[in-house]
Structure 1
Amino acid sequence: MSSNIKSAVEAMALPFLEENGFELVDVEYVKEGSNRFLRVYVDKEGGIDIDDCGRISEYLSEKLDENDPIPDAYFLEVSSPGAERPLKKPEDFIKAVGKHVYVTTYEPIEKKKEYEGLLVHCDDTALTIREGKKEFVVPREKIASARLAVVF
């Protein structure tokens, strides 16, 4: 996705979201088959419901029509990030300490590229993930993706 589209959508959405107690989790603009989708993931304390998504969708549709930052036809989807929400911003990682996470890296660290376990520590430089009795320190710059993980 063009970072310009993401930035434009974030700039339009943030004032409304923050004013109404929502958190912008992520924005993605993707092509699937012949269709394009603008997906906006939002959350709030206690979770969001269908009415929240509807309100946000109406607001964003109006703003997107006014500003028209996307040249192609697309479908707008507003939803919760789900139980396995992505961890992208520094504050996402801080909130995830003490929770189960799944992290992949760009290159192997201790012969592994995938880590799933309890996030026991995070700072500006690294995460510490406990898998069973072993702890792995994963440098932040080596993280390809990170999300919360549901344990069954």
Structure 2
Amino acid sequence: MVKSKVEQDIIDALEARAAEHGIDIVDVEVVGATKAPCVRVRLDKLEGDPINLDEVTAQTAWVSETVEALDPISSAYTLEVSSPGMKRPLRRPSDFARFVGEDVELTTTAMEGRRSYKGAIAAATDACVTIQPEGEDAVTIAFDDVKKCTLKPVFDFKGVKEGN
């Protein structure tokens, strides 16, 4: 995955402490204005049910300490700590392997004139991911060429109507 040096430095620092807290560092993004950017850290539990708001709040202190000690940005910045949400980012080969069969939206560096793919993860290895777009041939993409990949949320509005 393509990450900036600042983002990767923050990921490395957080991952060094995450396991002792039972936490998985899902993703880190630095977005917004250069003078006052926002550092977004997405967390989940290493095992079990997805992380909830109270657990995110409980983890924020050590995340903040770690990022502050690293001092990755010389100017003021905002730190956001959250769950991965329904559009969970996939960053590591193990993330892709975990979600084989799930639909994703993937953006690459320019490959044969195409940059984005929507489809199911057909396979994942340590080096690449195979995406099966609907109605198209499968395409295999090296992780070094993946810029961004998120799970495609599934909304089920076919539930039983209240009162019926």
User: Per the shorter chain, which TM-score range?
Assistant: 0.7 to 0.9
1:27 is the counterpart of 2:45: no
Counterparts of 1:118-133 in structure 2, within 5 Å, are 118-133=120-135
For 2:87 and 2:125, how far apart are their aligned partners in 1?
21
For 2:146 and 2:67, how far apart are their aligned partners in 1?
32
For 1:139 and 1:6, how far apart are their aligned partners in 2?
21
Alignment equivalent of 2:57, drawn from 45, 54, 58: 54
Could you report, residue by residue, the CA deviation over 1:36-63 in whole angstroms, capped at 9, with x for unpaired residues? 2121111123111222222221123334
Equivalent pair of 2:93/2:124 in contact (CA under 8 Å)? no
Corresponding pairs, count = 150
TM-score by length of 2: 0.74
Which consecutive unaligned segments of at least 5 residues does structure 1 have?
none
Bigger relative CO (Cα 8 Å, ≥ 6 apart) = 2
Partner of 2:73: 70
- TM-superposed CA distance for 1:64, in Å, is 4.2
More strand by share: 1
Alignment equivalent of 1:100, drawn from 98, 103, 107: 103
- TM-superposed CA distance for 1:30, in Å, is 2.6
- Taking only the aligned residue pairs, the percentage that are identical comes to 32
TM-score by length of 1: 0.78
For 1:149 and 1:41, how far apart are their aligned partners in 2?
17
- TM-superposed CA distance for 1:126, in Å, is 3.6
Partner of 1:13: 14
Across the aligned residues of Structure 1 and Structure 2, the Cα RMSD in angstroms comes to 2.7
Q: 121-130 vs 44-53, which deviates more? A: 121-130
